[in-house]
Chains A and B, each alone.
Chain A
Amino acid sequence: MKKIHIIGLLMIVVAIGVLITAAKDLSTYSNFKSASSTSDAVKIVGNLCKDKEIVYDPRKDPNYLSFFVKDNNGEIKKVVLKNAKPRDFEMSEQIVLTGTMQGEEFVASDMLLKCPSKYKNEEIYVKSRS
């Protein structure tokens, strides 16, 4: 079984190598402060500031959405997403942004929304009279 063993060992070595390089793709959640010190794309978790202005006016530009996010350190920055406004955006509880800091704005290339689950927000709908 020599050959198989050699191949097996080789594969394990390659696997470890690949996993180590793959692990470099894994990032830690950043914040606005450290995002401004790098030009690499970072991931930021934060909450939508619902009391601040959310701008999406497709009449002007259907690919421009801006809003304010409070990151985990409590810092608030304006965020710009060059895409249409996703559904349920205003309802989101938590936002994960991928992007870079450009001046005072965080320009996001990707956005993941965490919305309240239908299991949590238990409300009882009362029949409306017809």
Chain B
Amino acid sequence: MQDIQYIGENLLPGSLGHFLIILAFSAALLSSYSFFQANSRSGDESTSWKKIGRISFLVHGFSIFTVIGLIFYLMLNERYEYQYVWAHVNSELPKRYIFSAFWEGQEGSFLLWMFWHVILGFVIIYKNNSWEKPVIGILSLVQVFIVTMIMGVYFNIGTHGLKFGSNPFMLLRETMDAPIFSNPDYLKLIKGKGLNPLLQNYWMTIHPPTLFLGFASTVIPFCFALAALINKQYTAWLKPVLPWALFSAAILGLGILMGAAWAYEALSFGGYWAWDPVENMSLVPWLIMVAAIHSNVVSNATGYSNKTTYVLYVLSFIGILYSTFLTRSGVLGDTSVHAFTEMGLEWQLIIFMSFFSLWAIYLYARNTKNIPTPKEEEKINSKEFWMFIGTLVLMFSSILISFTTSIPVFNKLFDLFGSLIGQDLKYLHRTSPTDAVAHYNKYQLWIGVLIGIFSGIAQFFRYSGTNWKNTVPKFLRSIAISSVLSVIFTWLTTYWIQLFSWQYYLLLGLGYFTIFANIDYFIFYIRNNLKIAGSVFSHVGFGLLIIGIIASGLNKRHISVNKFALDGILSDDKLGKNIVLIKGLPMIMNDFKVTYVSDTMYNHTKEFNINYSRLDKKGKVVESFNISPYILYTNDFSKLASTNPSTKRYLGMDIFSVVSNLPKEEVEPEAAKQKEDSLKYRLYAIGLQDTVVTDKNIITVAGIIKNPTIKHFELKSGDLPLGVKLNVYNKKENQNYTETASIILRDKFVYDFPAVFNAAGTKIKLKEDAIRSIFMDDEGIQFKPFSFKRGDKIDFEGLSIGFRDFNKNVKHPLYSPQEGDIAVSAIMVIESSGTKYTAEPLYLIRGGSPFNLKDVVNELGLHIRFTGIDPKTETVNLEIGKTPGKPKSFGIEVAENFERSDFIVLEAVLFPGINLVWGGSLLMLFGLAFSIFKRFKDQKTTIV
């Protein structure tokens, strides 16, 4: 490309940003090196290395913060010369979504991840204990790898170009080749693509930062684990690491839960959990982290499970890296809805993952002999034994989930291996299970059962099995009480929800079992020691979650089913999930009468107002509520961007309603045009109070509306609007309908707003001549002059005409105000055989000359001009005339092959017990958070 001097580009932030990225990279490298030096030396030398390390880490941190700040600056100022800004922002994007726009892209989310690493690093440095040196040393090295993802540096090795990362400060004209860039002033012409409307909601603002803090926090236990082996402090790390692990599990859990709540609220996957690969791969590190916490607690209490704890903390972080690899490398491709598309980062991510895995394995192999393990094995009646088994169950679950989720990776590996041995191994390729949800549920059900058992009974054992003989009666009593209560409650639950097989009875029973066992443990064992109740909260939460999953997942059902129409013809599962609702026509759905009442449009949103009335057996309305699901059009209104459900929440269930479809012509402009073209219009001449008879209807003009209100159209001054109220009697439906057809004259253009009679299948347009016929035509009228004072009345050809008052607030359809105008209208009241009409003729002085604009009472054919005014006597001069004979007719165009478009396709789903899912999960996370405080206290007492 030739050199073009582009106009208006601001290149400084980009160069600065790119420089800072490279600075962040170098500083992280230096920080890592210095902290490792500090760690391996002692005395003053160590102190000064540590100082260098800290300064470099600070530099690194502030570079990252500034890079983020620069991107925000560019986004807020809509600098579309930058590709990242152009791709994620546009001028219509509300500023509150600027965060969402920032982390929508890969580069932004890598920055978010690093941001949290830096914050966590600062906390460690601030705490300033002996673990700082190795932990920040490793953390900085992790940062070195992540910065490369956004570095955007090219190397030429021979003929191959090697690219490291993707720089968020790339210019738009560097990333694509378009003719527009031959224009030096291209910036004036382009606008941003903006944020995907699907992501324009508050979840997108709060979910990613929470989830990424969860992701980021797994690195701290990982660093501690490696640091312990590097420094050969095989047990000292186990206490300080635990609060970090609890924090990580709580935040990561919260992030996953938010994702589930988002999916549920948007109903995009028919529920809160769909076993989507991306969901799975954030769940797996969490499961491993929870397993690691249990193992860590055992280590702290007994000295067992030291090695397991190390392995699990490492795996949890590697799990995060693997998850990053899966979602960002494009491997998942057609198996997930969430996956980012390929950005050529695969190899970088693989090297990242391999480096830290191999390092962890190497350290483990070198130190395994020295890690202390008790000589004696765990007793079968000890707490540690059962907790260890529980840990294994969690790992088991992780392995199963990872296995199925990794199928696309296995396929790629087959390809790779095949290309190495020169054979086509495509026949080994597998696809993810045909019914993914059934597949995962089938196996994870047993995990739930096992955890239900272990998290119930393990509580009653003591560490090292001490005092077993004395505690046996108490133990048996607790188990017995919990078991009996579980059976009773399971039985009671069957009155509420259906359990389709014995496996679900078992799972439900064990869900109750862990709840009752933990409550029992709380009351009879630890009620005086509330500090250690964290595990009770978490396990009760888990039990509630299990019950909630069974209730909402197994008993979720579509109620948007018209049973009347299909009863007996189709079995329940064959019934469709959607129902057609015509505006104003109630439909019976389950025990609800559902009516689509109205809709409103604002910006890109169309909101539907739907009434649900619950009927009792006699058909009486016992409960009534309105919901408002909405749809969102894309920025250019060319199609739907999203359909957002509306939920009616009860304590025991939720009812979801979503407008799953609309008539095509309501969605696509192209379809609307096609439909309009297919209409067969016939022209009829009609006058006021006239009637025409068409094939299917009898049409009458019922009246004139001079200031019609038109939906989604704002009148400007100078517009000449006219509405004609039409009455249609449909012969087939044997019904009368009334609608208004309008036209607006604006700057010599005619805007047409036809009257649509959906039920009659008829559409009527007003011809332009209606305006002339109704407003202007005073051909052949004999005007007579009159003078009025306020309150005067006269008789005119059988009409009583009175002057009520002046009106300075003039609103004449033909009048458009100009500066310097003096305008006033006369309010005239006309009575004709009992019916009252008003007219407001206008008198106007513009540029020193008088003008007048007449008003017409079309029904009477009466024209009134306001020709003069005497301010002293407050007398008005009027000229009044009447159209001879019948009022003139005008044209209407009638199409009677109009297919109704006043309906929506509704999908309504009932989720029982959903609040148990949310409540249970939150209680589980609360338990984790609760334990953090207790463990912090523990730490302080041991360190001091």
Contact = CB atoms under 8 A, between A and B. Distances in A.
A19 B403 contact: yes
Contact of A27 (B190, B389, B433, B905): B433
B687 interface: no
Nearest to B407: A26
B377 to A, nearest CB: 5
Interface stretch (B5-13, B572-580, B745-753, B850-858): B572-580
Interface residues of B, number: 56
B579 A62 contact: yes
B393 to A, nearest CB: 9
Interface in A80-130: 82-85, 87-88, 94, 96, 98, 110, 112, 114, 117-120, 122, 124-127
Given A18-B443, A127-B190, A83 B576 contact: yes
B189 interface: yes
A32 B59 CA distance: 60
A58 B905 contact: yes
B240 interface: no
Interface of A: 1-4, 7-8, 11, 14-15, 18-19, 22-23, 25-29, 41-43, 45, 56, 58-59, 61-64, 82-85, 87-88, 94, 96, 98, 110, 112, 114, 117-120, 122, 124-127
B905 A84 contact: yes
Contacts, number: 130
B577 A83 contact: yes
Given A22-B403, A82-B576, A112-B334, A58 B434 contact: no
Most buried by B among A8, A63, A110, A127: A63
Contact of B434 (A11, A25, A124): A25
Interface string B127-166: 0000000000000000000000000000000000000000
B434 A42 contact: yes
Nearest to A85: B661
A117 B574 CA distance: 34
Contacts of B427: 28
Contacts of B889: none
Nearest to B631: A87
Given A26-B433, A59-B903, A83-B577, A117 B443 contact: no
Contacts of B407: 26
B530 interface: no
Contacts of B905: 58, 62, 84
A36 B422 CA distance: 34
Given A26-B431, A98-B435, A87 B580 contact: no
B341 A22 contact: no
A43 B190 contact: no
B433 A4 contact: no
Given A25-B434, A62-B905, A15 B660 contact: no
B341 A43 contact: no
26 contacts: A1-B377, A2-B377, A3-B377, A4-B388, A11-B392, A19-B403, A22-B439, A25-B404, A27-B433, A29-B431, A56-B664, A58-B578, A59-B663, A62-B576, A63-B576, A63-B577, A82-B574, A83-B577, A84-B661, A87-B642, A124-B190, A126-B180, A126-B191, A127-B188, A127-B189, A127-B190
Contact of B196 (A14, A15, A118): A118
A29 B429 CA distance: 9
Contact of A26 (B193, B432, B642): B432
Interface string B402-425: 011001000000000000000000
A58 B377 contact: no
Given A7-B389, A58-B661, 6 more contacts: A8-B392, A11-B396, A19-B399, A62-B580, A88-B639, A110-B434
B378 interface: yes
A32 to B, nearest CB: 16
A114 B334 contact: yes
A120 B341 contact: yes
Nearest to B191: A127
A84 B429 contact: no
B900 interface: yes
Contacts of A29: 429, 431
Most buried by B among A85, A87, A119: A87
Contacts of A127: 188-191
A100 B407 CA distance: 23
**Ordered nearest first, which 8 A-B pairs have the shortest CB separation?**
A63-B576, A25-B433, A62-B578, A26-B430, A84-B660, A62-B905, A117-B341, A25-B439
B176 interface: yes
A9 B561 CA distance: 51
Contact of A96 (B176, B191, B334, B430): B334
A84 B334 contact: no
A45 B404 CA distance: 19
Nearest to B662: A58
Contacts of B433: 25-27
B831 interface: no
A61 B341 contact: no
Nearest to A42: B434
Nearest to A58: B905
Interface string B176-203: 1010100000001111110010000000
A77 B396 CA distance: 42
Nearest to A63: B576
A51 B661 CA distance: 22
Contacts of B299: none
A11 B773 CA distance: 91
Interface string B896-920: 0001100101010000000000000
A35 B374 CA distance: 59
Contact of A43 (B404, B431, B661): B431
A41 B189 CA distance: 52
B400 interface: yes
Given A26-B432, A87-B643, A98-B434, A7 B190 contact: no
A10 B334 CA distance: 36
Nearest to B178: A124
A18 B445 CA distance: 13
A28 B439 contact: no
Contacts of B189: 126-127
